[in-house]
A and B are shown apart, each in its own frame.
Chain A
Amino acid sequence: MLTLQCPYCGVQADETELSAGGEAHLTRHGPGSTEDEFHDYLFTRENPRGVHFERWRHTYGCGKWFHAARDTQTLEVFGTYKAQCTEPPKELRDAITAKRPGWTWREFS
């Protein structure tokens, strides 16, 4: 079973305690954005086969939202970090690049 460590309460939570919240770090285009930008924000997803950043909620624990970095091809969990981040922390990015040579962070949408 997938387990993720909640960065707020520190619990190593089972998947049954958590709710998946989809892709993370989307740029939230709002009023004044172009139609293409708003379309991408609402619908277009990276959906990578490999390193994926996503939002999770510790629903049956502390109730807080947080971020997780996982590999969708191997189900390896690289780490979790707080929701108040607009991009993954540098240590986590370096750790992923060490495990997946050639991988680098890029801005999505």
Chain B
Amino acid sequence: MKRYSAFAVAREALRNHIGWERAWRSPEPKRHYDVIIVGAGGHGLATAYYLGKNFGITNVAILEKGWLGGGNTGRNTTIIRSNYLQDPSAAIYEKSRSLYETLSQDLNYNVMFSPRGVIMLAQTQHEVRGYQRTAHANALQGVTTQFISPSRVKELVPIINLSGPRYPVLGGLWQERGGTARHDAVAWGYARACSDMGMDIIQKCEVTGVRTEGGKVIGVETSKGPINCQKLGVVVAGHSGVLADMAGFRLPIESVALQALVSEPIKPCMDVVVMANTVHGYMSQSDKGEMVIGGGTDGSNNYTQRGSFHHIEETVRALIETFPMVSRLKMLRQWGGIVDITGDRSPILSKTPVEGMFINCGWGTGGFKSIPGSGWGMAELIAKGHSPLTDAFGLERFHEGRFIDESVAAGVAH
């Protein structure tokens, strides 16, 4: 693989850009791999990358039914933060956020990580108390956050209206090193690095069955024929229940649509990410100038990547009160992704009832920020059978009543 650098850009500029090679290979599948990862989204590719980088396992295939990064990796609002309440969550999300800091250098691919800061607005007394509690918890966990006053919020976000009649701003939870990154680049960067280590990324290859023998996984059936493996990692977000069904077990997960929208591009007006969980809305400005807006989830099960329009309406209605200037913006696009929601709103990184099969799912509405940390922990789980990052996130926690309850702590938006 030729490295990307300023020198490479100059060299190619002088010869009509004929020297750029494909970022990753598109091989036909082999008959056998040590590890097969199902799902070439951010989490699946990151899992494969850290399997190779941290554990030297490179005989790996990553199977994707559509195209690389075409699911929720390309559909989220790219927010990165780690201000969670519970210790296991803070550990994995902070690991993730810290890996983002140097991800561009690690991958030799510009993921455009922008630690511009994230504010979560407190708009009810309940939220004020909740976020103050989170700020104290974060201090103990070594996550740098602080509870800030409305006047400090106004300094950071001049376009905000602090004194809306329904949703006044009473303060905010401020994480200075949170921010955004370019979501496609994260998937592409990991894919390029995986391919460079000799891993096979096989797109348009749908897994149609999981083959087991004596309770142990031996391979998968795919639209490109059967492929054998010793270990299988399932990292397919909204479709986790479908894959689990193939292997004969069920998951504590429901799949629902989560929507987002972007406005027309405008001049720079907001250089932080603002989340307003009371009103199910969050907003940031992309490098192109579009206001990127995320909404809430639907209440009903859905696999169509289309959500209900009235949720968009609710989000925009509330944002107009907090950001009056939004009322003058035209919205360009609106889309949905299928998120996998667990009972305690925390992910599942776990062994399964089938030996050799591992599952990474349930990230719900907050998967993008956790891509590097999730991949790091999942790779360790697959390679060694356990990981300090993932041990608390096992499937057995629902049996044992040992929830990682973020549904109250994190509100709705993740």
Contacts and interface: CB of A to CB of B under 8 A. Distances in A.
Contacts of B255: 47, 49, 72
Contacts of B254: 22-23, 45, 47
A43 B303 contact: no
A25 B142 CA distance: 45
Contact of A73 (B251, B303, B343): B303
Given A47-B251, A49-B239, A15 B303 contact: no
A9 interface: no
B196 interface: no
A28 interface: no
Interface residues on A, range: 20 to 34
A15 B302 contact: no
A100 interface: no
Interface string A7-45: 000000001100110110000000000011001101111
Question: How big is chain B's contact interface, by range?
Answer: 20 to 34
Interface in B318-345: 343
Given A39-B398, A42-B343, A74 B250 contact: no
A2 interface: yes
A92 interface: no
Interface in B245-285: 245, 250-255
Contacts of A16: 310
B304 A45 contact: no
B125 interface: no
Contacts of B309: 1
Interface stretch (B83-91, B131-139, B162-170, B293-301): B293-301
Contacts of B310: 1, 15-16
Residue from B250, B251, B301, B306 whose CB has the most chain A CB atoms within 10 Å: B301
Contacts of B253: 45, 47
> B241, B300, B306, B310: which has the most chain A beta carbons within 10 Å?
B300
A107 to B, nearest CB: 13
Contacts of B399: 35-36, 39
Given A39-B399, A47-B251, A19 B299 contact: yes
Contacts of B407: none
B309 to A, nearest CB: 6
Given A19-B299, A48-B241, A73 B398 contact: no
B304 A47 contact: no
A58 interface: no
Nearest to A52: B301
B72 to A, nearest CB: 16
A75 interface: yes
A54 B301 contact: yes
Interface in B359-408: 398-399
Interface string B53-88: 000000000000000000000000000000000000
Interface string A49-73: 1001010000000000000001011
B299 A45 contact: no
B343 A75 contact: no
A46 B253 CA distance: 8
A17 B398 CA distance: 33
Contact of A72 (B251, B299, B302): B302
Given A47-B241, A49-B239, A49-B242, A2 B252 contact: no
A49 B74 CA distance: 21
Interface of A: 1-2, 15-16, 19-20, 22-23, 35-36, 39-40, 42-49, 52, 54, 70, 72-75
Interface of B: 239, 241-242, 245, 250-255, 298-304, 306, 308-310, 343, 398-399
13 contacts: A1-B308, A1-B309, A39-B399, A40-B250, A43-B343, A44-B250, A47-B241, A47-B250, A48-B245, A52-B301, A54-B301, A72-B302, A73-B304
